[in-house]
Amino acid sequence: MKVSRTFAVGVLAAAATVGIVAQTKLQPQDEDYAKLVKEWTTKPEFSSPLVDHLPKVAGIPTTKDVLGYYVGMPKKLTHTADLAKYYNALAAASKRVKVFQLGKTDEGRECLVIAVSDEDTIRDLDTYKGYLAKLADPRGLSADQAKEIIGKAKPIYMFTGGLHSAETGPPEMLMELAYRLAADESPLYDQIRKNVIVMMSAALEPDGRDRYVDWYNHHMLSQESENDRVPGPPYWGKYIFHDNNRDINYSQVTMRNWLKFYLQWHPPIMHDLHESQPLLYTFSGQTPQNPTLDPILYAEMPWFSDFEMTKMIGYGMPGVWTHAFVDMWSPGYLGFMSSNHNGMLRMYETMGNGGANTMPRTIGGGAGGPGGPDGPGGAPEASAAAGGAAGAGRGGRGGGMTARDWYRPLPPPRTLTWSMRNNTNYMETGVLSALELTSKFPQTVLENFYMKSRNSVKSGETEAPFGFVLPVQPDMTRVAFIVNILRLQGIEVGRARAEVKLKEGTFPAGSIVVKRNQPYGRLAKILLEKQVYPDPALQTYDDTGWTMGLMSHADVKEIADKAVLDVPVQPVDVMDVNGVVKGTGAITAILHNGSNYIATLRYRLKDVKFEAIEAAVKVGDVQLPAGSLLVQSSPRVKAEIEKLGLQAVTMAKAPDVAKHAVEIPRLAVFSTWGSTQDVGWVRYALDHFEVPYDLIYKERIKQGGLRGAYDVIVIPSQGRGGAKGLIFDIESRGKAIDYQKTPSFPSLGSYGESADITGGMGLQGVAEFDKFVNEGGLLLTLGASSFFPAEMGITRTVDAARTTAAFYAPGPIVEAEILKPTHPIFYGYDKTTVPVRWAGGPLLRATGTEGRAWTLMRFPGNDSSVLSGLMRGVAETRGRPAIMDVPVGQGHVVMYATNPAYRWQNLGEFNMLANAILNFNDFPAPKAPAKPVE
């Protein structure tokens, strides 16, 4: 064992290296590591003096000691059980390390956090947790008290990796980082341990991590080049892929674990590690920026990214850049839990190979490449968000990746051989530089954190809106949805103790009041206000609109009257809505007032006979809206209504109005193997509301006999490119790619199995769908899937066109006009103009005169129809159908240009899907075309 080190660094790095050497204590070094890492690093300039060596400390295990390999070994990825095994071994050996379990995933894996700092700090972690909690909520702290706490506190710097499962490097790198932080005795590490508490995730999405590692081991080990591309696995987590970074309402249990962690520990910095861009992009917070967030944040972000770039260029590492990829508009990314809560968001993209194979790569054009789902080109990432030409707006806006620019002073070479170890070297050098900066300025980081928290409270006292009121309204379940998400986010919510009189109106006692003068008052504003996009010429990476009231069709009043701050309220922890059944008559009528739990009630009482009334009717002094359900009264019915927060009245006999039986259909949801994410959101919503279905794939479609098995088939939005994508799906290259559970690959084969995921349902599948509809089935096509029936002639008299290149609509909320309010699809909608999320679906048009009869809802397409976010070229949507009910043979196709189950956000639209399912055999029969249309 020798104590000196050999440096494999380029000429540019030499000067920097000298400085590091001078500071380095002569700790014994792991020669084996240095030799292998040099071998795995494809060029000297792809490494740095921070990561080309590893100290060897008796008793502190490296990954080699525990798992048998060093991080970055070609063709080696680590399952979550082994990540945990390593971190637990490290924590058992070092008093500088602690491991926490946060909670379980959908599939029962643990979410793990690892903390590393000096021994004293780790021992007193709860004390430091307490200091940060005080700075996070500085109400009642004097300036002097705050100063005193800042003097004693230490910032937590939290690293997260493995949110996107194809981006395989971060969970590997973080193990090595933890080791260095625990074992390296050089001054840099002393300083970091003394001044910073470093925390990291083992893997943010543990289910996806294991599934991807299995998939990689099964299908990707032999991949030698980018051209040799193997598709990724059909699933990461249980429901979604990249949208785990768009889950603004924290629907997914794993993401909720992380938010809970955040709000317990309040890390002032959170740094999310992704892969897709060459060679390291460090996010500096470019425009469009959400103007509600603190200006301090927007100063901090480039402070850090410029420091990292400076250091890394100093080491001679090319391809580090800070601008022209992601922006600061949408607050829905997972890492934004930090900036949304007055912390500092940080984000990297490095270049991954979609696994640990070393391969030649070409940079430029469509970056990303294998395993680069965040990148432009081939990336499903911004799929749902982007409308029309929006895809072009993502990423790469700064021109060629190999071009020199002010934010990329040392561009990367165009062609290179890239390895997992290179990727590790980049990430680790970057994060060590960030830790160096934090450890030099811990007080500044803490002061900023305190000031941002304090400013948030203050801004609620000085800037309108001063609050929001959610008045008592007919359906309180959607109010509860909003309230409970605000609560999950740590926002304080109260219930008015008495009637509230404000300039905006008078609201009854019990109305919900959200005051802005609280630490997360800015976040409340961001989530509840209408999004006014700053500049239509600016492109953005994801959604431009998310206003919770509009998405939920709940009444949310923005309050400019400062008196709202003084309204006496009872704090709400979790909002439960107790349903009410009035009276003791023989028949119970459940008011359809838009609650999504109407469907849940029907399914919970499967064996009970329900009828729906087809028009509104008054019973006594209660108005029953169309679609209200009638059922024989019973204690069981009453109990479920109360549990689900529904409103009901009883009566002696059923009202005299047209009605039909509400039967439960045999329901299937069709998924391609190549695009399961938007299907996943529909599945999530159906599961949440307890609507059972079969999830079917091409294998089932090709078997035929669909009508014999199903009454309703939903095709969630898929195949963005039009019908072809849905039909042919993953291109077959002559070699089967199976997705099956085996003893060696136990995480595969979840949520469906296939001996070959390629090839799609093909034309044979189209014929089966055609038959299904003609034989009386109800086919529901959502969003982009509505190209399918139009383009394949299942609905021969409907065209599906595309928006022009000038059109740009990244997820705004727009008006839609209900033309057939008596259609069962609109049960529970009491207004004829409703907000819908623009889904990037087709521009539908009936080619015959029957279009008017078949169009249930349309887009007015005026400038004033854009309610939140950005739609450029709104006139292209003018008069286009938003939903059509097209009779075909004995059946119907309901074509939604909208997506009524989008990312667990637009719960106001969900009934347009649920109503179609529950009233599947009671659609009015619009006249089929009398003669063929020209």
Q: Give the Cα separation of 168 and 701 in Å (integer).
A: 34
- For the bound state, the minimum distance from the C-beta of residue 707 to Zn ion, rounded and expressed in Å, comes to 41
Torsion angle, alpha carbons of 706, 684, 391, 547, to 10: 130
Mark the segment that binds Zn ion (CB under 5 A) among 34-42, 159-167, 455-463, 533-541: 159-167
Choices 166-174, 184-192, 385-393, 882-890 (CB under 5 A): range interacting with Zn ion = 166-174
Say whether residue 164 binds Zn ion (CB under 5 A): yes
Choice between 336 and 808, CB closer to Zn ion: 336
| Residue 909 within binding range of Zn ion, rule CB under 5 A | no
Site for Zn ion in 76-105 (CB under 5 A): none
Looking at beta carbons only, is 161 or 465 nearer to Zn ion?
161
Distance between CA atoms of residues 688 and 249, nearest Å: 14
Of 170 and 521, which CB lies nearer to Zn ion in the complex structure? Answer: 170
Q: How far is the CB of 419 from Zn ion (least distance, A)?
A: 19
Candidates 156-164, 479-487, 545-553, 918-926: pick the segment binding Zn ion (CB under 5 A).
156-164
Do 671 and 241 form a contact (C-beta atoms < 8 A)?
Answer: no
Peptide bond into 288 cis (omega under 30): yes
CA gap 272, 430 in Å, rounded = 12
> In the complex, what is the shortest distance from the CB of residue 673 to Zn ion, in angstroms, rounded to a whole number?
21
CA quadruple 756, 760, 761, 763: dihedral sign? negative
Q: Stretches 189-197, 270-278, 725-733, 896-904: which one binds Zn ion (CB under 5 A)?
A: 270-278
The window from 15-23, 308-316, 371-379, 856-864 that contacts Zn ion (CB under 5 A) reads 371-379
Q: How far is the CB of 377 from Zn ion (least distance, A)?
A: 14
Q: Is 272 in the site for Zn ion (CB under 5 A)?
A: no
49 or 376: whose CB is closer to Zn ion?
A: 376
Kindly state the number of chain residues that form the binding site for Zn ion, as judged by CB under 5 A.
Answer: 4
Q: 3-state class of 359 per DSSP? A: strand
Q: Work out how close the CB of 163 gets to Zn ion at its nearest, in angstroms, rounded to a whole number.
A: 6
Q: 103 in the Ramachandran plot: left (φ > 0), alpha (ψ -120 to 50) or beta?
A: left
CA gap 462, 427 in Å, rounded: 42
In the complex, least distance from residue 332 CB atom to Zn ion, rounded to whole angstroms: 14
Query: To the nearest whole angstrom, how small is the minimum distance from the Cβ of residue 223 to Zn ion?
Result: 20
Distance separating alpha carbons of residues 47 and 317, to the nearest angstrom: 7
Cβ nearer to Zn ion, comparing 380 with 583? 380
Shorter beta-carbon distance to Zn ion: residue 168 or 865? 168
Checking phi first, is residue 332 left (phi over 0); if not, alpha (psi -120 to 50) or beta?
alpha
Q: Is 335 exposed, middle or buried (0-12, 13-18, 19+ CB in 10 A)?
A: buried
Token duo for residue 740: 């099956």
Q: Which one, of 275, 273, 274, 277, lies nearest residue 364 by Cα?
A: 277
Binding window for Zn ion (CB under 5 A); candidates: 269-277, 392-400, 404-412, 540-548 = 269-277
Which backbone phi and psi does 617 adopt, to 5 degrees? Answer: -150, 150
Q: Kindly indicate which of the ranges 268-276, 293-301, 556-564, 571-579 contains the residues binding Zn ion, using the contact rule CB under 5 A.
A: 268-276
Stretch that binds Zn ion, among 123-131, 372-380, 444-452, 474-482 (CB under 5 A): 372-380
CB of 541 to Zn ion, least distance (A): 11
For Zn ion, the closer of residues 308 and 374 by Cβ is 374
Single out the residue of 448, 710, 899 nearest to residue 456, CA to CA. Answer: 448
Report the nearest approach of Zn ion to the CB of residue 179 (Å). 25
Cα separation, 877 vs 848, in Å, equals 19
**Residues within window 278-297 making contact with Zn ion, judged by CB under 5 A:** none
CA distance 358 to 223: 9
For 276, 363, 374, 411, 427, the CA distances from 403, given in Å and listed in that order, are: 17, 11, 20, 6, 21
Is the bond leading into 233 cis (omega within 30 degrees of zero)?
no
CA-to-CA distance for 75 and 89, rounded, in angstroms? 23
CB of 903 to Zn ion, least distance (A): 16
| Interhelix angle 187-195/169-183, nearest 10 degrees | 100
Is 316 or 370 the residue whose CB approaches Zn ion more closely? Answer: 370
In angstroms and rounded to an integer, the radius of gyration of the C-alpha atoms of the chain is 29
The yes or no reply on residue 542 touching Zn ion (CB under 5 A) is no
Q: Which is nearer to Zn ion, 164 or 271 (CB)?
A: 164
Both tokens assigned to 455: 């400013």
> Whole-angstrom Cα distance, residue 301 to residue 552?
33
Which residue type is seen at 172? E
3-state secondary structure of 678: helix
Compute the least distance from the CB of residue 167 to Zn ion, in Å: 5
Candidate list 96, 238, 274, 837; residue touching Zn ion; CB under 5 A: 274
Question: Contact region for Zn ion (CB under 5 A) — 167-175, 215-223, 414-422, 535-543?
Answer: 167-175
- Token look-up 């014994």 returns 28
Separation between Cα atoms, residue 278 and residue 350, nearest integer Å: 6
Cα-Cα-Cα-Cα dihedral sign, residues 325, 331, 333, 337: positive
- Indicate whether 374 belongs to the interface with Zn ion (CB under 5 A): yes
Minimum CB separation of residue 381 from Zn ion in Å reads 7
Closest distance to Zn ion from the beta carbon of 258 (Å): 15
Q: Which stretch binds Zn ion (CB under 5 A): 69-77, 206-214, 366-374, 608-616?
A: 366-374
- When the beta carbons of 193 and 274 are compared against Zn ion, the nearer one is 274
Q: How far is the CB of 905 from Zn ion (least distance, A)?
A: 20
**CB 352, min distance to Zn ion, A:** 9
Beta carbons of 527 and 556 less than 8 angstroms apart: no
Q: How far is CA 105 from CA 99, 349, 375, 397, 902, in A?
A: 17, 25, 27, 36, 22
Residue 85 has phi, psi (to 5 degrees) of -60, -45
Cα maximum dimension of the chain: 94
Stretch near Zn ion under the rule CB under 5 A, chosen from 145-153, 273-281, 814-822, 832-840: 273-281
Q: What is the pattern of x (binds Zn ion, CB under 5 A) and - over residues 673-692? A: --------------------
Give 164 or 311: the residue with its C-beta nearer to Zn ion: 164
Q: How far apart are the C-alpha atoms of 887 and 795, rounded to whole Å?
A: 8
The least distance separating Zn ion from the CB of residue 659, rounded to whole angstroms, comes to 51
Task: Between 164 and 193, name the residue whose CB sits nearer to Zn ion.
Answer: 164
Question: Which residues bind to Zn ion, rule: CB under 5 A?
Answer: 164, 167, 274, 374
